[in-house]
Structure 1
Amino acid sequence: MQQHLWNRTQLAFPLVLLVFGCVFGFSISGDARLVAQTTDPPAARILFEAYADANWDLWSMLADGSDLQNVTTTPNKHELYPQASPDGKHICFLVDETTDRSTLRSLWLMQADGTKRQKIADNARHACWSPDGKRIAFAQQEFPKFNIKDFVTKSLYFYEIDKGTIAKHPNSTIEHIYVPTWSANGKWLVTTVHGGMGFGHAIIAIEVDGDRVVDLKIGGCRPCLSNNGSQITWSRDDHTICVADISYPDEGPIVSHIRTIYQHPTLHLYHPDFSPDGQSVTFSMGPGGRVAADGPGTHTEVAEMVGVKGLWDIYLQSINATTTTSPRQLTHRPHTSNKESEWILTP
């Protein structure tokens, strides 16, 4: 790792850490499924990336799709892939800057209202938060020249919020991972791997403080763990969103009780994300496929990748839905490529 890649400036603002079990008020039944409580669900909004006025920005909306707000409003930078801190006070995200036909993708941090932006690292990819809000995990771009493909990554790194330092994961074989998600017990990162680490294409669990790698044997990509860690959602294929239980015995994570919550015969379903109470999943739906670059900051590739402008809208589905239950449409402007939904707690 070259020293000049990383900005190690210490953050000037503190993080207030919350324990998720206290915030959300959930309990687990004997078969490890989430049980709804009588208390109201936590107040939350939905973040997502969207392309409007020739620019990628981060947007937010209420859970019913109303009160649409542009969080970043930066016409000279392209903000992508928002990830909210556990307490809802901060957002880490990717920024694309294009000069001389070359793209630099970097990882940034800001307050939830879009202020106090702080660069974490250049040449970075998808990131996720530790459950205690103290660390951010992310992969590094594999080659010096930018490649839009999501799996062109090498190694895994941890950014310490309080110290402003970056440390490399002890497993030096980590490569070609994307869209990580951190378990509530803090011990595992679940991620997709494509053509690396001895896998063709799989969803795996990587031990945070060790060398173990566990194949979850569920197929598909883009996993997301619920806030209490008891459930996982993912795109099983281009047309299917699944939810399952996940447990963490000593031998490593195990997935069980897989069920399909929505399936479409032709449209593509990607980017699933759990609501804070674990009772709903948002995802993007659109025609998918390979699309051409269409404006500054866009790229030619398959539509589900970060920075590719496809025709997407965001939908909401209950985890108890069946394949015939129609999801609720939250956005109604597919030309702005609404995707990568991420729930964030609000005061």
Structure 2
Amino acid sequence: MGSDGRNRRKLLDSAREPFWSPDGTRIGFLHPEFPKFNVMDYYTHGMSFVDLASGRITDHPNSARIHHLYNPCFAPGGGWILATAHAGMGVDHGSLLLRSDGPGVVKLGIPGCRGWISPSGREIAWGAGDYEIAVAPIDLAASVPSVGERRLRILDHENRVIHVDWSPDGGFLCFSRGPAGRGDAAKPGTFAGACGIVGVYAAGWNLCVVPATLQGSVDLLASGEGEFMMVTTNGFSNKEPAWFLPPKKTDMHP
């Protein structure tokens, strides 16, 4: 659909974790591991792509071996796909790079999950733990891509921080922030589970933005004005931000 909510059309049944190709012509997605839905984010097996112009669906070349991934996203240029693996593909829990056009897989060796590569393709931001967002350089041009030392650590020792996303110009990071919990299954269309999981109601959660130019450690509980901004404050399960550019406008909104 358009960013204004119009021109909606259904593409697929029973698909999970959609992600756009850099040129906007395809949407990648993961297949559910079992026919019955389970809210656990890593209950996936296989990856495919749907062409928006033709509706044609093609499998990833390594689809049969893609197992227990979540939070996939293309790197700029489209050659690599970043994803988190949980008890799958030889990883207990960590970040992988997958070649988008072949069987290549690289274990990045960083703790945590839900990474996102900057628009420049030179940095990666990810949840390095339940209470930390980290930013570090990434070399996608190397024969074996790797992640360097963390240059920025965003810390909150009371609230979980997760679901980080870069602004389109790479100048800001937006992420979810809120207390740990197990959701509220009484809410319509939601499930019980950790609040960071898609489909689980997260009471008290809001969206936070920080400048991506910050360096060192930023403690959200001790930081002053100018180091971060709460985009939402009502705590109505505000999470999983996605930036977009409104039509015919230059202002960026998460």
> TM-score if structure 2 supplies the norm length?
0.89
Give the residue type in structure 1 aligned to 2:209. L
Indicate the residue corresponding to 2:25 in structure 1. 134
2:221 is the counterpart of 1:320: no
CA distance 1:250–1:210, change in 2 (3 Å): farther
Matches within 5 A, 1:1-347: 110-171=1-62, 172-311=64-203, 312-321=205-214, 322-324=217-219, 325=223, 326-334=227-235, 336-346=236-246, 347=248
Residue identity matched to 1:123: S
Check 1:193–1:137 CA distance in 2 against 1; reply closer, same or farther (3 A cut): same
The residue identity in structure 2 corresponding to 1:323 is V
Q: Distance in 2 between matches of 1:197 and 1:139?
A: 14
Deviates more, 1:319-328 or 1:303-312: 319-328
TM-aligned CA deviation for residue 252 of structure 1: 3.2
- Distance in 2 (alpha carbons) for counterparts of 1:250 and 1:330: 37
SS at match of 1:292: coil
Q: How far apart are residue 184 of structure 1 and its match?
A: 0.7
Contact 1:180–1:191 (8 Å) recurs in 2:
yes
Taking only the aligned residue pairs, the percentage that are identical comes to: 38
> Which amino acid is 2:212 matched to?
I
Q: Deviation digits for residues 210-258 of structure 1, max 9, x if unmatched?
A: 1011001111011111122121111000000011111223523221131
Secondary structure of the residue aligned to 2:188 is coil
Query: With structure 1 as the length reference, what TM-score do the two structures score?
Result: 0.66
User: How many residues are treated as equivalent by the alignment?
Assistant: 237
Cα distance between partner residues in 1 of 2:181 and 2:35: 27
CA separation in 1, counterparts of 2:233 and 2:186? 20
**Are the equivalent residues in 2 in contact too, given 1:126–1:138 (CA < 8 A)?**
yes
AA of the residue aligned to 1:320: T
Asked if structure 1 preserves the Cα contact closer than 8 Å seen for 2:121 and 2:140, the reply is no
Q: Show structure 1 runs of 4+ deviating over 6 A.
A: none
Letter in 1 for 2:206: D
The answer on whether the counterparts of 1:240 and 1:260 sit within 8 Å (CA) in structure 2 is: no
CA displacement, residues 161-190 of structure 1 (integer Å, 9 cap, x when unaligned)? 121111111112001111111011210000
Q: How many Å apart are 1:338 and its aligned residue?
A: 0.4
Q: Distance in 1 between matches of 2:47 and 2:145?
A: 19
d(CA) in 1 for partners of 2:186 and 2:123?
Answer: 37
Cα distance in structure 2, aligned partners of 1:300 and 1:228: 37
The answer for the alignment partner of 2:251 in structure 1 is: none
Work out the CA distance in 2 between the residues paired with 1:323 and 1:163. Answer: 46
Once residues 137 and 332 of structure 1 are traced to their aligned partners in structure 2, the CA distance between those partners, rounded to angstroms, is: 32
Gaps of 5+ in 2: 249-254
Query: How many angstroms apart in 2 are the aligned matches of 1:213 and 1:197?
Result: 9
Per-residue CA distance 1:77-99 (angstroms, 9 max, x = gap): xxxxxxxxxxxxxxxxxxxxxxx
Higher strand share: 1
Alpha carbons of structure 1 residues 283 and 201: separation in structure 2 relative to 1, 3 Å: same
Question: How many angstroms does 1:295 deviate by?
Answer: 1.5
Q: RMSD in angstroms over aligned alpha carbons?
A: 1.3
Deviation at 1:345, TM superposition (A): 1.4
